[in-house]
């Protein structure tokens, strides 16, 4: 068993802040967990009570619309990486690469869209970790105190929990230091104090749908989306009930008793055996006045009303989430044109672009905060112009992007071998580096060839000077 190394205790103010933030995490845990279940489509409807037949009591119906609403928006929020105009190989680019944030930005955006907020934290790296370390934190385990005047967090807490949900460790983020604590006999024991002196909390929020009166954002899984989804799930369950009668319609017989339904050995047939019999043969009477037995079956309701209801609810969800109705599974006989598709996606693209601006500010600041950790609390020179580069939220086709970039190059707006040109074409950073290096090497070979052919040194230098630079424009 590892022995607890206790440095000191929290001050009364520090303990007060810690308890307040932990209380906020507990207060919102139920709602956050419920939103997560709706996203994962683990919320089901099992019964409609008296309206359900007994043998369908165990049938579960689900609808994945809440997850679709979130995923459709998140798929438009793709980050290329941090960019510092006029510089390459900067601290923020190294932090981004070392922490593999190309893979982690998607979970951060997902949590923000599901719960209304998620968090980014910067700490000093431990053994085997990048230094500094940037992590994505869930609102299920993280919260903070918002300062509306400075428009940033004045304190934050990131917790680590066991499988039973009990807090086994926590980090208290304050403007001048980050304090690591563990539970200790009803109190808290301090295991580390990182006095970075940066003057700001090393935690940033990714807030979705923030308002002046609602600083902690709003989930994309709104109450209307949940209401329409529940209604659709009830409709799907009713359709299951209806399908039972549709596949096995109830039959009726007049003028006979149960003794008429016997098996070849003379024993009484069960209702199921009588139901699945290929031929029903009933004895007839020789009495002309006797009433002949009558057989028939009840008419079965068409599933069309259920389909129409589900379609209506899907259209309501599409309107609430600004999604094209076809994304929810219902298509028309006449396919939409390219202009119609762009028109139906316009609202959704606009929503994604707004998220890019808000989320980009948080990503930028956490990278700058991490850089300050590695520079004694001071921002390294030249990083104040750092920005986050996003991919086009409209997700144009490869052919459309290539055509647009080609026209910009032909008109002289973009250099043919610029990093910007390659990035607009959708190449990843590794490919862009290789293309720029290959272009520079080709220019060098051309200059050497000119020198070898006897061309003047001035001309050769002019050719060499025209090769593309490797820095960001």
Runs of H (alpha helix) within 248-337? 271-275, 304-321
Which H/E stretch holds residue 444? helix 429-452
How many angstroms separate the CA atoms of 149 and 327, rounded? 41
Please report the DSSP string for 193-223 in residue order. Answer: EE----SS-SEEEEESS-BTTBTT---SS-H
Tokens matching residue 61 = 């119906």
How many C-beta atoms surround the C-beta of residue 225 within 10 A? 21
How many angstroms separate the CA atoms of 389 and 363, rounded? 10
Q: What angle do CA 354, 355, 361 make, to 5 degrees?
A: 100
What is the model's pTM? 0.79
Residues (pLDDT < 70) of the chain are: 1-7, 46-59, 244-253, 255-264, 266, 269-292, 298, 300, 332-337, 396-397, 400, 429, 452-473
| DSSP one-letter code for 468 | P
How many C-beta atoms surround the C-beta of residue 76 within 10 A? 21
User: Can you give the residue ranges of every domain in the chain?
Assistant: 1-225+303-391, 226-302, 396-473
pLDDT in tens, 30-67: 999 999 999 998 888 765 554 445 555 566 788 899 99
List, as own/partner pairs, every contact residues 147-156 make where C-beta atoms lie below 8 angstroms and the sequence separation is at least 24, other chains included.
Answer: 148/215, 152/200, 152/201, 152/204, 153/201, 153/203, 153/204, 153/205, 154/201, 155/17, 155/21, 155/201, 156/21, 156/119, 156/121, 156/201, 156/203
pLDDT in tens, 81-120: 999 987 877 899 999 999 999 999 999 999 999 999 999 9
Per-residue pLDDT at 470: 44
């Amino acid at each position: 068993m590892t022995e607890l190394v206790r440095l000191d205790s929290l001050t009364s103010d520090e303990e007060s802040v810690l308890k307040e933030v932990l209380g906020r995490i507990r207060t919102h845990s139920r709602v956050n967990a419920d939103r997560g279940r709706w996203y994962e489509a683990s919320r089901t409807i099992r019964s409609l009570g008296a309206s359900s037949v007994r043998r369908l009591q165990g049938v579960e119906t689900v609808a994945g619309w809440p997850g679709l609403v979130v995923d459709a928006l998140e798929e438009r929020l793709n980050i290329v990486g941090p960019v510092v105009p006029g510089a390459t190989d900067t601290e923020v680019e190294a932090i981004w690469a070392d922490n593999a944030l190309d893979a982690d930005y998607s979970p951060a955006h997902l949590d923000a869209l599901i719960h209304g907020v998620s968090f980014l934290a910067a700490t000093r790296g431990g053994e085997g970790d990048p230094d500094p370390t940037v992590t994505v934190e869930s609102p299920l385990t993280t919260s903070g105190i918002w300062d509306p005047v400075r428009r940033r967090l004045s304190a934050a807490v990131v917790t680590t929990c066991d499988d039973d949900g009990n807090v086994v460790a926590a980090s208290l983020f304050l403007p001048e230091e980050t304090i690591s604590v563990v539970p200790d006999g009803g109190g808290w024991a301090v295991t580390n104090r990182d006095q970075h002196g940066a003057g700001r909390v090393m935690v940033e929020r990714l807030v979705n749908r923030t308002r002046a009166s609602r600083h902690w954002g709003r989930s994309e899984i709104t109450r209307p989306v949940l209401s329409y989804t529940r209604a659709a799930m009830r409709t799907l369950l009713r359709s299951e009930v209806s399908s039972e009668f549709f596949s096995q319609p109830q039959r009726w017989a007049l003028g006979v008793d149960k003794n008429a339904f016997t098996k070849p050995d003379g024993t009484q047939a069960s209702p199921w055996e009588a139901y699945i019999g290929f031929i029903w043969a009933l004895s007839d009477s020789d009495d002309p006045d006797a009433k002949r037995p009558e057989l028939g079956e009840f008419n079965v309701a068409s599933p069309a009303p259920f389909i129409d209801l589900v379609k209506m609810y899907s259209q309501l969800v599409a309107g609430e989430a600004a999604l094209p109705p076809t994304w929810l599974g219902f298509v028309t006989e006449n396919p939409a044109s390219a202009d119609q598709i762009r028109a139906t996606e316009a609202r959704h693209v606009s929503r994604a672009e707004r998220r890019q601006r808000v989320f980009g500010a948080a990503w930028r600041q956490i990278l700058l905060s991490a850089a300050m950790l590695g520079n004694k609390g001071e921002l390294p020179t030249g990083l104040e112009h750092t920005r986050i580069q996003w991919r086009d939220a409209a997700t144009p086709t490869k052919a459309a992007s290539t055509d647009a970039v080609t026209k910009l190059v032909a008109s002289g707006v973009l250099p043919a071998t610029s990093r910007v040109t390659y990035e607009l074409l959708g190449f990843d950073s590794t490919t862009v580096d290789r293309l720029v290096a290959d272009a520079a090497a080709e220019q060098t070979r051309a200059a050497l060839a000119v020198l070898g052919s006897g061309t003047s040194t001035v001309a050769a230098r002019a050719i060499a000077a025209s090769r593309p630079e490797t820095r960001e424009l």
